[in-house]
């Protein structure tokens, strides 16, 4: 059986008097796109921050490659947070190289990657331009570039297509496809269910900090007797919050199992 | 270590690559020099004009009830003394503009040291000219019995004292002893004015532009804070080197273009004293005070949700750094005063007070090292609070972090 790259066990998070996440369990496998879904305030971002070691779990464990993630071993993780931004006063190439260095790359490698990425996303002429001079969509491309630097084995994308036009949205999804083909596991957070239908192998729907649906896309659809993830999402959020947390609907499987 | 180096390089270059950094660095000494030149030229121009007007003032009446005014002096100014009986009539003429001014030296002038001037208008230049005229007539009349012009000039302007100081039975350099440790006070304010704010903006902007979450995934908060602190120190060194270079160039070039440099308070560069203990203490107070303030600024930026609010909160630290100036005479002359003792150990005032006391030499050895130890303790606390606040507040984008949460487990 394939070892999960991400393993979350009995994870709970309490901040102040608020229970953000309650007894959450899930795995993410290498090479899969794992859709991590939930309404605003359901605990998705807090879970990701805990997985990255920014927040400390109240109970339970969150492991990446068999160990808790810290800045020292986060080099193989790419993260595009929901609350994202860049150093607006710095130049594009300088910013990318800086993040590459923080991810453990050499300056030369970070520069080579950055120039290649800028060419790929048709921003090579912006390398020496300050970030604040770029449009919102162009800044988002740079942020994606920063996230995928250093050949990540795990890529966490929190609403990556928010604010992108259709052309750049397709470009981003193509890049995610390519990374997946190379074996990168992707945790994909979105409110756009058509993206889930197109990309995801497995999913987890979080409500009030608890898993309400978890498994392969096909198995979840089968369990909820629906052909639409969006309908399942709406159905879950219409349920009363007191219902019990969800166990996996099926064993993890490949994309073809959808 | 390489991440720390990357943070330092990034933070340093972000600051020094900004055109505004160099514009401010060049503009400040340029503005100070311009103000100095304009002040000298302006004062000279005003003084010359007053002198010119003084010469042309002929329509002025003088009444002497004191008996101290010399008639020859009044005559030399092409004026005459009027009778005290004419006082009311002359005052009316001034009011109606028929006379420019009336000067009355009263009977009890020597006791009250006060005389009266009536002017036909509120023109400031004319007021200056007539004041100068009346003052000159009085002083020259009083000094005339002294005899020679040299003695009169000596009585009027005094003489410079060539001072010799003794300390512990040996000749000392006097004020020149204060200059080198005093430079640390100046340096502190340069750092405070230019660099401390960078810590505030560096953290609050990172928070405001939402880049913090990506950074914290790959860097420990303490590495990030340390990197920022060291970068700001490098920025400070850059500024000090730049201003030092400008100062040296000014000292070297000025005499060659006919502008001899005269330092204030009789400071003589050749007589400066380089006392190792006061230099080491000055450096220690400066370094520790800088880190303590930088810690407070970082904590403030981490606690506040935006740059605007962080700037508002930081005002208290700026006030703290300037409070010692209200007590500077007391700090320099009365170190045993309880207020001075309090200001020496209170964290927000301790760097400046300690640096001033170190400069004027009224810190005895044990007290200086105790003050340094206390300041070091506050520095450790401020950096601990900064790192703690940073960990908790870095991702709080919409609300102020509660102070109580800093001390919870």
Structure tokens at B141: 């009349």
The SS3 assignment for A247 reads coil
Supply the pTM of this predicted model. 0.73
- Nearest CA to CA, how far is A198 from chain B (Å)? 27
Residue B49's nearest CA partner among B122, B167, B128, B115 is B128
- Nearest CA to CA, how far is A253 from chain B (Å)? 29
Q: Which parts of B175-312 are beta strand (E)?
A: none
Element (H, E) at B105: strand B101-105
* Residue in chain A nearest B404 by alpha carbon: A16
The answer to whether the beta carbons of residues A20 and A46 sit under 8 Å apart is yes
Q: Do A52 and B217 touch (CB under 8 A)?
A: yes
The SS3 assignment for A69 reads coil
Residue A130 is classified by DSSP as: B
- For residue A252, the model assigns a pLDDT of 41
- Residues of A within 8 A of B219 (CB-CB) are 71, 102
Q: Do A102 and B218 touch (CB under 8 A)?
A: yes
pLDDT of B298-327, one tens digit each?
A: 888 888 877 788 888 888 888 888 899 899
CB-nearest partner of B209 from A75, A81, A85: A85
Which residues of A touch chain B, with CB atoms under 8 Å apart? Answer: 49, 52, 54, 70-72, 74-75, 77, 79-81, 83-90, 94, 98-99, 101-104, 143, 146-147
Residue B269 is classified by DSSP as: G
What is the four-CA torsion angle of A2, A33, A151, A56, rounded to 10 degrees?
-80
Q: Do B214 and A79 touch (CB under 8 A)?
A: yes
The CA distances from residue B385 to B202, B224, B244, B319, in Å, are 17, 14, 34, 20
Q: Which parts of A176-228 are beta strand (E)?
A: 185-189, 202-207, 210-216
Structure tokens at B316: 């208290």
- Residues of A within 8 A of B20 (CB-CB) are none
Q: Do A102 and B215 touch (CB under 8 A)?
A: yes
| Residue of A52, A55, A85, A158 to mutate for B, most B C-beta atoms under 10 A | A85
Which residues of B touch chain A, with CB atoms under 8 Å apart? Answer: 2-3, 6-7, 10, 13-14, 18, 205-206, 209-211, 213-220, 223, 395, 397
CA A207, CA A239: separation in Å to the nearest integer? 10
Beta-strand pair B60-64/B81-82: parallel
- For residue A30, the model assigns a pLDDT of 92
CA B367, CA B354: separation in Å to the nearest integer? 10
Residue-wise burial string across B105-143, b where 16 or more C-beta atoms lie within 10 A, e elsewhere: bbeebeeeeebeebbbeeeeebebbbbbbbeebbebbbb
Structure tokens at B168: 């512990």
- Residues of A within 8 A of B6 (CB-CB) are 98, 101-102
Residue A4 is classified by DSSP as: P
Q: How far is CA B318 from the centre of its chain?
A: 15
Per the rule left: phi > 0, alpha: psi between -120 and 50, beta: everything else, B378 is alpha
Residue A90's nearest CA partner among A157, A169, A146, A151 is A146
Q: Do B14 and A84 touch (CB under 8 A)?
A: no
The SS3 assignment for B83 reads coil
Phi, psi of B408 (to 5 degrees): -85, 155
Q: Do B219 and A71 touch (CB under 8 A)?
A: yes
| Residue of B4, B204, B208, B211 to mutate for A, most A C-beta atoms under 10 A | B211
Q: Do A85 and B3 touch (CB under 8 A)?
A: no
- For residue A95, the model assigns a pLDDT of 93
Residue A11's nearest CA partner among A41, A42, A40, A50 is A50
Residue B330's nearest CA partner among B319, B342, B320 is B342
Task: Give every residue of chain B whose pLDDT is below 50, as ranges.
Answer: none
The answer to whether the beta carbons of residues A34 and A5 sit under 8 Å apart is no
Q: Do B209 and A79 touch (CB under 8 A)?
A: no
Phi, psi of B58 (to 5 degrees): -120, -20
Domains of chain B (ranges, CATH numbers): 2-28+173-407 (no CATH), 57-154 (3.40.190)
Structure tokens at B153: 């000039």
pLDDT in tens, chain A (258 residues): 678 999 999 999 988 778 899 999 999 999 999 999 999 889 998 999 899 888 889 999 999 999 998 888 888 899 988 777 788 888 999 999 999 999 989 999 999 999 999 999 999 999 999 998 998 888 888 989 999 998 899 999 998 888 788 888 888 888 888 888 889 999 999 999 998 998 899 999 999 899 999 999 999 999 999 989 999 999 998 876 555 556 565 544 444 444
The CA distances from residue B23 to B18, B29, B30, in Å, are 9, 11, 10
* Residue in chain B nearest A89 by alpha carbon: B14
- For residue A255, the model assigns a pLDDT of 43
- Residues of A within 8 A of B231 (CB-CB) are none
- Bridge partners of residue A43, in order along the sequence: none
Contacts A–B by Cβ distance under 8 A: 73
């Amino acid at each position: 059986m394939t070892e999960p790259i991400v393993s979350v066990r009995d994870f709970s998070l309490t901040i102040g008097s608020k229970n953000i996440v309650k007894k959450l369990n899930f795995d993410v496998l290498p090479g899969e796109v794992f859709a991590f879904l939930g309404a605003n305030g359901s605990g998705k971002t807090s879970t990701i921050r805990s997985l990255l070691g920014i927040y400390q779990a109240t109970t339970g464990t969150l492991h990446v490659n068999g160990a808790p993630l810290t800045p020292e071993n986060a080099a193989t993780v790419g993260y595009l947070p929901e609350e994202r931004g860049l150093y607006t006063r710095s130049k594009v190439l300088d910013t990318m190289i800086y993040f590459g260095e923080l991810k453990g790359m050499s300056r030369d490698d970070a520069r080579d990657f950055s120039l290649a990425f800028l060419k790929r996303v048709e921003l090579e002429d912006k390398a020496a331009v300050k970030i604040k001079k770029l449009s919102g969509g162009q800044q988002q491309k740079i942020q994606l570039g920063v996230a995928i630097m250093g050949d990540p084995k795990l890529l966490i994308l929190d609403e990556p297509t928010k604010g992108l036009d259709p052309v750049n949205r397709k470009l981003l999804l193509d890049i995610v496809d390519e990374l997946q083909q190379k074996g990168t596991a992707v945790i994909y957070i979105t409110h756009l269910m058509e993206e889930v239908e197109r990309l995801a192998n497995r999913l987890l729907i979080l409500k009030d900090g608890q898993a309400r649906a978890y498994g392969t896309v096909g198995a979840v659809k089968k369990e909820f007797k629906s052909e639409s993830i969006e309908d399942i999402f709406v159905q879950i959020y219409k349920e009363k919050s007191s219902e019990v947390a969800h166990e996996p609907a099926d064993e993890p499987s490949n994309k073809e199992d959808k | 270590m390489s991440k720390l180096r990357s943070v330092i390089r990034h933070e340093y270059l972000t600051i020094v690559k900004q055109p505004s950094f160099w514009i401010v660095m060049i503009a400040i000494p340029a503005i100070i020099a311009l103000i100095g030149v304009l002040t000298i030229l302006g004062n000279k121009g005003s003084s010359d004009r007053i002198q010119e007007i003084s010469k042309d003032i002929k329509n002025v009446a003088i009444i002497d009830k004191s008996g101290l005014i010399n008639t020859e002096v009044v005559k030399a100014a092409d004026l005459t003394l009027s009778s005290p009986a004419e006082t009311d009539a002359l005052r009316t003429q001034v009011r109606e503009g028929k006379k420019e001014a009336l000067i009355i030296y009263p009977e009890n002038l020597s006791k009250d040291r006060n005389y009266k001037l009536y002017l036909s208008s509120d023109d400031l230049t004319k007021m200056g000219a007539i004041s100068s005229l009346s003052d000159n007539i009085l002083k020259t009349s009083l000094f005339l019995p002294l005899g020679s012009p040299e003695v009169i000039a000596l009585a009027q302007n005094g003489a410079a004292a060539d001072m010799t100081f003794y300390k512990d039975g040996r000749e000392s350099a006097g004020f020149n002893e204060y200059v080198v440790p005093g430079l640390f006070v100046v340096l502190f304010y340069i750092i405070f004015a230019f660099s401390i704010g960078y810590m505030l903006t560096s953290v609050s902007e990172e928070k405001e532009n939402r880049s913090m979450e990506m950074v914290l995934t790959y860097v420990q908060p303490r590495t990030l804070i340390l990197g920022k602190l060291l970068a700001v120190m490098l920025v400070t060194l850059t500024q000090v080197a730049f201003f030092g270079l400008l100062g040296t160039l000014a000292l070297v070039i000025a005499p060659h273009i006919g502008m001899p440099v005269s330092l204030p308070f009789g400071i003589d560069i050749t007589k400066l004293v380089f006392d190792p203990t006061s230099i080491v203490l000055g450096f220690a107070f400066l370094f520790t005070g800088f880190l303590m303030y930088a810690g407070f600024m970082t904590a403030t930026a981490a606690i506040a949700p935006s740059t605007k609010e962080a700037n508002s909160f930081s005002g208290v630290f700026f006030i703290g750094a300037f409070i010692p100036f209200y007590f500077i005479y007391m700090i320099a002359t009365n170190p045993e005063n309880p207020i001075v003792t309090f200001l020496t150990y209170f964290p927000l005032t301790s760097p400046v007070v300690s640096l001033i006391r170190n400069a004027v030499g009224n810190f005895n050895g044990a007290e200086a090292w105790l003050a340094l130890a206390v300041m070091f303790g506050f520095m450790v606390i401020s950096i601990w609070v900064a790192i703690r606040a940073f960990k908790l507040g870095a991702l709080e984008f919409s609300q102020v972090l509660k102070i109580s949460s800093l001390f919870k487990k």
